[in-house]
Amino acid sequence: MPETPVETGGQRGYLRIATEEAFATTEQIALYRELLEEPGVDPGFQSLMGFYINSTAERPRFIFENLQDLGDRRIAEMDARGIDRQVIGITAPGTHVLDRDRAVALARNANDELAAACSTHPDRFTGMAACAPQDPLQAAAEIDRAVSELGLRAVVYNSHVQGEYLDDQRFWPILEAAEALDVPIYLHPNTPPADMIQPMLRAGLDGAIFGFGVETGMHALRIITSGALDRFPRLQIILGHMGEALPFWLYRLDYMHQATVKSGRYEAMRPLRRGAVSEYLRENFIITNSGVAWPDAIDFTQRVMGVERVMYAMDFPYQCPVEEVEELDRMDMPLDAKRAFFQTNAERVFGLAQPVDGGRA
Amino acid sequence: MPETPVETGGQRGYLRIATEEAFATTEQIALYRELLEEPGVDPGFQSLMGFYINSTAERPRFIFENLQDLGDRRIAEMDARGIDRQVIGITAPGTHVLDRDRAVALARNANDELAAACSTHPDRFTGMAACAPQDPLQAAAEIDRAVSELGLRAVVYNSHVQGEYLDDQRFWPILEAAEALDVPIYLHPNTPPADMIQPMLRAGLDGAIFGFGVETGMHALRIITSGALDRFPRLQIILGHMGEALPFWLYRLDYMHQATVKSGRYEAMRPLRRGAVSEYLRENFIITNSGVAWPDAIDFTQRVMGVERVMYAMDFPYQCPVEEVEELDRMDMPLDAKRAFFQTNAERVFGLAQPVDGGRA
């Protein structure tokens, strides 16, 4: 930690709200350690959590230790990096690798723990709810509890559930609950599933360097092209890592989607009510720059998606250089757009201007 | 075809050279028809060529018919679209799905056929050589023949060969030949291999809409991170479809590559001589906008890669709206940059200013 903390607060005309920040519970780590010992463990999980839990290298040790703190240590790390508020969710792959009963228990306990921390630090922490998609109706009930009773402000969804995706109607109670409660779903990366990961894994490309983006970009596309957002038209989905590159693919997505639908090539790809993939991306998605502290890509995405749909995220503790926010403060961007990026979009998306309901805050 | 052809020639200050244009030989189509009947056919090949060969929809019929012409019909389609010159290669997946002997014969025959067409239309056609990577030494010899004797100006490489990639040293004679002959390799998409395609295929996302970019972006990354370009530092690789989004991923690629190498997470990902992935992307790659007739993405890529490394491609006959080039003529871009994009980069990369050696042109 540097000696002089980066200044926080409104001196520069905006607060800095970081919107894809991670934590892990002690129970979660214990469950992961057990799972890593089981035969036939998912190769992506083994690659990812086998590394973060067991590596002795400096970066994974920093990450692993900071994931497990929701108190003064985290506040100090935020102060050191100039972050006014973190929006926090359970780290990937969350509950998604567990069996139904363990997943249900972990989601419930993690939400209680996160809500308690948010209650202790209401000016610094905002929480996103975990759920257990293995039981979609129970997941919907837990999301309702976490939002209505605990005051959490979003759902964090750690992408595929043992190879299954939200375009599958079996999971639609989760989408329905989020839409009804008016909370966004943060679609967070997972490593690609077993029937997709091998060529990436063999080359060391299965994780954040490449595989995450592929897996989660595909997941978002599946949600769009399946028609799920025709069923839940008000649902808002947050995509990190500069939208997993979907904003950059926009032209090709529209062209090829239209051509594919027109030719009747796939039963799974039927016409959409609003026509173009880009309509859904611009009306149902919010993009964060987690992992991409790069003004060129932020500027491009603001132009493609609109200034109101691009938010700041740090990705603490995975990627959190101390100098990051001051570099982004210097972006060549009008103050209004910078305030939207760092502060006001997050306030709107997570409903931070409203008082938190539920008893704890 | 419209009644009034788009003007060609230098009236606007540049020629329009389209650099990722496709053809198919009669032999190739016959081999594909046979392969589609075989048990256990690759699922990506079946999805792609089963569609283009058998669909009765308008777009695949147009594509299928135009792929097989290298004569007056193609010239007329170019005239209708304002294309002065096509740089032509065998359509995906080329030889890559065949057994060794069929692949060797197809590459040789396709190169002869393409060279003959280039000889008939030296002012309109430039050819890229096929090869049979199933036999890397023979492939290197065929590339040498195609360049030195037939006057072809590049290698078109249709990505994975039944799940194998150019980072595998077994294929390095191909890289060595291209570097020694000073011709670029156009790394063209293929559908993802069998151990990667399933979650995309089930959703109709395995082709040009998404799977192509994933497969070929990964292939390019594998070439970089394996160190192949430390061994062949002068090799130039062309990536279509706006670099398969790698320019947009640049910041994350550099950050995560550095972090991964430093932690020693993978045996397959060791330090690179030039350090950053972006160094290789900017020194060993040229990007085309095939399939992405979108000024925003072209502008972004010119800024990231440099104006000298972004070229025009139409992707005829797969994606060739008649109005495309006139829309791109109107891009807000200095004339010098536009000339580089449409003409002079291609002339440099394919050596078009030099007279074609070999007896035929």
For A16-47, what is each residue's pLDDT tens digit?
A: 999 999 999 999 999 999 999 999 999 999 99
| Inter-CA distances, A115 with A103, A177, A307, Å | 18, 19, 30
Secondary structure (3-state) at A135? coil
Task: Provide the 8-state DSSP code for A238.
Answer: E
Pair of tokens at residue A57 = 């290298």
pLDDT band at A188 (very low <50, low <70, confident <90, very high): very high
Question: Per residue in A206-217, pLDDT tens?
Answer: 999 999 999 999
Q: How many Å apart are CA A269 and CA B51, to the nearest integer?
A: 14
Chain A contacts in chain B segment 230-289 (CB below 8 A): 241-242, 245, 248-253, 255-257, 259-260, 262-269
- How many degrees, rounded to 5, is the angle at CA A134 between CA A130 and CA A138? 65
Alpha helices for chain A (secondary structure H): 26-37, 43-54, 58-67, 72-81, 100-120, 136-144, 172-181, 198-201, 211-225, 228-231, 241-244, 246-263, 277-284, 295-305, 324-329, 335-339, 345-349
The answer to whether A268 and A219 are in contact (CB under 8 A) is no
Secondary structure (3-state) at A18? strand
The answer to whether A226 and B202 are in contact (CB under 8 A) is no
Secondary structure (3-state) at B185? strand
Give the per-residue pLDDT at A360: 35
Chain B contacts in chain A segment 307-346 (CB below 8 A): 319
pLDDT band at A175 (very low <50, low <70, confident <90, very high): very high
pLDDT at B358 over 50: no
Q: How many Å apart are CA A182 and CA A167, to the nearest integer?
A: 19
pLDDT band at A12 (very low <50, low <70, confident <90, very high): confident
Instruction: Show Cβ contacts of residue A334 under 8 Å, excluding neighbours closer than 6 positions.
Output: none
The answer to whether B44 and B32 are in contact (CB under 8 A) is no
Give the per-residue pLDDT at B353: 76
The answer to whether A162 and A99 are in contact (CB under 8 A) is no
Question: Per residue in A310-334, pLDDT tens?
Answer: 999 999 999 999 999 999 999 999 9
pLDDT at A141 over 90: yes
Query: Using CA of residue A225, residue B245, residue A239, residue A280, what is the dihedral sign?
Result: negative
Q: Which residue has the tokens 């594998």?
A: B222
Query: Using CA of residue A22, residue A26, residue A32, residue A33, what is the dihedral sign?
Result: positive
Q: Are the Cβ atoms of B221 and A210 closer than 8 angstroms?
A: yes
Q: Mean pLDDT throughout A246-275?
A: 96
**Percent of chain A at pLDDT exceeding 90:** 94
Give the per-residue pLDDT at A106: 98
Q: Are the Cβ atoms of B269 and A204 closer than 8 angstroms?
A: yes
Give the per-residue pLDDT at A9: 53
The answer to whether A59 and A125 are in contact (CB under 8 A) is no
pLDDT at B355 over 70: no
Instruction: Count the helix, strand and coil residues of chain A and give each as a percent rounded to the nearest 5.
Output: 50, 10, 40
- A-chain CB neighbours of B292 within 8 Å are 251-252
**Residue in A249, A264, A319 nearest the CB of B57:** A264
- A306: distance to nearest CA of chain B, Å? 13
Q: How many C-beta atoms lie closer than 10 Å to residue B56's C-beta?
A: 8
ipTM: 0.95
Pair of tokens at residue B194 = 């069998």
pLDDT band at A5 (very low <50, low <70, confident <90, very high): very low
Q: Which residues pair with A238 in a beta bridge?
A: A186, A286
Phi then psi for residue B119, to 5 deg, are -70, -35
Q: Mean pLDDT throughout A282-306?
A: 98
Instruction: Show Cβ contacts of residue B18 under 8 Å, excluding neighbours closer than 6 positions.
Output: B78, B83, B85, B86, B87, B312, B313, B314, B316
Report the chain B residue with the minimal C-alpha distance to residue A241. Answer: B252
A315 catalytic, yes or no? Answer: yes
Question: Per residue in B270-310, pLDDT tens?
Answer: 999 999 999 999 999 999 999 999 999 999 999 999 999 99
Pair of tokens at residue B5 = 């052809």
Find which of A209, A277, A315 to mutate to test the B interface (most B CBs within 10 Å of its CB): A209
Pair of tokens at residue B279 = 């160094």
- A-chain CB neighbours of B314 within 8 Å are none
Q: How many Å apart are CA A224 and CA A231, to the nearest integer?
A: 11
Q: How many Å apart are CA A307 and CA A286, to the nearest integer?
A: 10
- B-chain CB neighbours of A205 within 8 Å are 218, 221-222, 225
- B307: distance to nearest CA of chain A, Å? 16
The answer to whether A227 and A208 are in contact (CB under 8 A) is no
Question: Per residue in B97-140, pLDDT tens?
Answer: 999 999 999 999 999 999 999 999 999 999 999 999 999 999 99
- B-chain CB neighbours of A259 within 8 Å are 59
Find which of B52, B161, B265, B318 to mutate to test the A interface (most A CBs within 10 Å of its CB): B265
Q: Taking CB atoms and an 8 Å cut-off, how many pairs form between chains A and B?
A: 186
Q: How many Å apart are CA A238 and CA A186, to the nearest integer?
A: 4
The answer to whether B111 and B75 are in contact (CB under 8 A) is no
Find which of B205, B219, B226 to mutate to test the A interface (most A CBs within 10 Å of its CB): B205
Give the torsion through C-alpha atoms of B47, B49, B50, B53, to 10 deg. 150
* Total-model pTM: 0.95
The gap from C-alpha B285 to its chain's centroid, in whole angstroms, comes to 12
Give the per-residue pLDDT at A7: 47
pLDDT at A274 over 60: yes
Give the per-residue pLDDT at B12: 85
pLDDT band at B357 (very low <50, low <70, confident <90, very high): very low
**Rounded to a whole number, what is the distance in angstroms from the first to the last CA of chain B?**
30
Q: How many Å apart are CA B182 and CA B191, to the nearest integer?
A: 28
Phi then psi for residue B311, to 5 deg, are -120, 155
- B-chain CB neighbours of A262 within 8 Å are 57-59
Q: Are the Cβ atoms of B250 and A294 closer than 8 angstroms?
A: yes
User: Which entry of B315, B329, B332, B336 is annotated as an active-site residue?
Assistant: B315
pLDDT at B232 over 90: yes
pLDDT band at B2 (very low <50, low <70, confident <90, very high): very low
Secondary structure (3-state) at A147? helix
DSSP of B322-358 = TTHHHHHHTSS--HHHHHIIIIIHHHHHTTTTSPP-S
Q: How many Å apart are CA B141 and CA A59, to the nearest integer?
A: 47
Phi then psi for residue B106, to 5 deg, are -65, -45
pLDDT band at A249 (very low <50, low <70, confident <90, very high): very high
Q: Which of B175, B86, B183, B88 has its CA nearest to residue B136? A: B175
Task: Identify the structural domains of chain B with CATH numbers, from first to last.
Answer: 17-349 (3.20.20.140)
Phi then psi for residue B20, to 5 deg, are -135, 65
